[in-house]
Structure 1
């Protein structure tokens, strides 16, 4: 089956400082793909660059193709036809994404007019259907309310309704649960999973939360310092993470059972893009780094088990037992 989106050698620089270093990424039709990593590793920038949403000072290189349609370098009118229509994006903070002085119903109707040509009564009827679909109670009575009259979780649901207005083939959810409490987070994750099943759309889920990624995604890409360092199916990668950075992310999670123990943090911070190490970007924080890692940058290469890995000294495959990684993310 042909890929829905193919990203090749995507590079981004701000004021001459590279922040993405050649991202290769595929999204298949109907697939749920997770992007994980610390803040500043390039997760959001990857998709903002792919959709042409970065500011003018950003220099973007590489190729982005949507079903044989090249988006990189495309005219603004062509990109606007894709954004919200073929590819929709949910942003992290719904309170800043919704217009505070326009009623929510009108905002959804505007998306329907732009992407599907609906106006008047048909647009209102479809907007009410979308509000019902995303779980807004008493949608008809709340159609003419303003964003500040909704809770944070309901505002996020409204953003999802607006994203669905264009019937997208791909929905990009950029940390959609970060500002929400645990109960609302679980509801939003269930909503995204059910909407994907009902509509057949593909989903890219960007998150710091490994448990959330395990719940909604089929494949995971781990990013660090503007590069993908490991990717593979959720079950495989969570059962036996091989890159030391991925292993460190799991070790930093609290156990859900057994005795209380001190967490194992990843020492240090993500390197400044203006002063990246000459070799592997993770080497200064890595307990497995050797002299080779200080001068050579490992490429992302296929492994015998099907995953892709960018590490010269990966974590050994464990003896088959119950996975500590899975124990930590299970609920």
Structure 2
């Protein structure tokens, strides 16, 4: 699979505090990748940095290429042609991402005009088509309504319509179902899967929800404390999570079948990036940690099965894919 986007050694610091520690990530054409981990692990920051959307106080280094073209350090006008046109992002909270004083139709036509040069009735017709595509009922009548006149799920659909306005090659969905109830979440996930099938665009799905990731993605990157600690196909990860942190994420999922059992939470919290130890950042919370884990940081190496893992004491191989799939069916 050819690479659409290549990220190499991406680092980010705020006020001298390193929060991303050299992210390497490829996105293939038409591929769907999941980015998972607890809040504060660097999932959203990775892509905000890649698109040049972090505030000016952020110190960013590394390489971000789209089809071999470097995006880091280019003129702002060149970067703006990529945002929305080649790479589009759906942000976490549609209520804050949508402009509350502009009618939704204008917000979609503005994106269509900016990225594709359409004007007047042509732009309006395309905006209505996008509203229909993402499942906004009675789009023509609701074209001139304001965001507050739509439900939370419909606002998320409007955000997806704006993201699709530039016909991007890559769609980054940042926690697109977080604030939605279970039924609407399922509808949004189905919509993302349908759109990817129809448009053949690549997708990066940022989420805490392993169940959602299992439905949408082909490959998963697990992040912890600003680093990728495990990267594998969806089948490999769900059958056999090898990093203790990944295993902890699975163990913390409530089961909806069988006897009631206590959840097994991961002890402690994500560390403050200002006070990271010299060794493995997960060592203070890890059941497999040894003394040397506090002193030396494991590299992200490729294993014999093709996955990448950064751990000195991984979880032993196991075959539990059917069980994990069954657990996540109802999540």
> How would you bin the TM-score normalised by the shorter chain?
over 0.9
| Residue pair 2:238, 2:325 contacting (<8 A) in 1 also | yes
Match of 2:138 in 1: 138
Structure 1 segments of 4+ aligned residues over 6 angstroms from their partners: none
Displacement after TM superposition at 1:323 (Å)? 4.5
Q: Aligned equivalents of 1:219 and 1:322: distance in 2?
A: 15
Displacement after TM superposition at 1:327 (Å)? 2.9
Paired residue total: 330
Aligned-pair Cα RMSD in Å:
0.8
Give secondary structure in 2 for the equivalent of 1:4.
Answer: strand
Give the 5 Å matches for 1:141-160.
141-160=141-160
Give secondary structure in 2 for the equivalent of 1:232.
Answer: strand
Give secondary structure in 1 for the equivalent of 2:29.
Answer: coil
2:176 is aligned with 1:176:
yes
Match of 1:129 in 2: 129
2:283 is aligned with 1:279:
no
Residues 205-251 of structure 1: per-residue CA shift (max 9 Å, x gap)? 00000000001000000000000000110011011100000000000
Match of 1:239 in 2: 239
Give secondary structure in 2 for the equivalent of 1:153.
Answer: helix
Residues 297-320 of structure 1: per-residue CA shift (max 9 Å, x gap)? 0000000111100000000001x4
| Residue pair 1:17, 1:273 contacting (<8 A) in 2 also | yes
Residues 141-172 of structure 1: per-residue CA shift (max 9 Å, x gap)? 00000000000000000000000000000000
Q: Aligned equivalents of 1:83 and 1:100: distance in 2?
A: 22
Displacement after TM superposition at 1:328 (Å)? 2.1
Match of 2:55 in 1: 55
| Residue pair 1:300, 1:310 contacting (<8 A) in 2 also | yes
Displacement after TM superposition at 1:322 (Å)? 5.5
Displacement after TM superposition at 1:36 (Å)? 0.2
- Structure 1: gaps of 5 or more residues: none
Give secondary structure in 1 for the equivalent of 2:62.
Answer: strand
Question: Given the superposition, is the C-alpha separation of residues 231 and 267 from structure 1 closer, same or farther in structure 2, using an over 3 Å criterion?
Answer: same
Displacement after TM superposition at 1:321 (Å)? 5.2
Match of 2:93 in 1: 93
Normalising by structure 2, we get a TM-score of: 0.98
Normalising by structure 1, we get a TM-score of: 0.98
Match of 1:41 in 2: 41
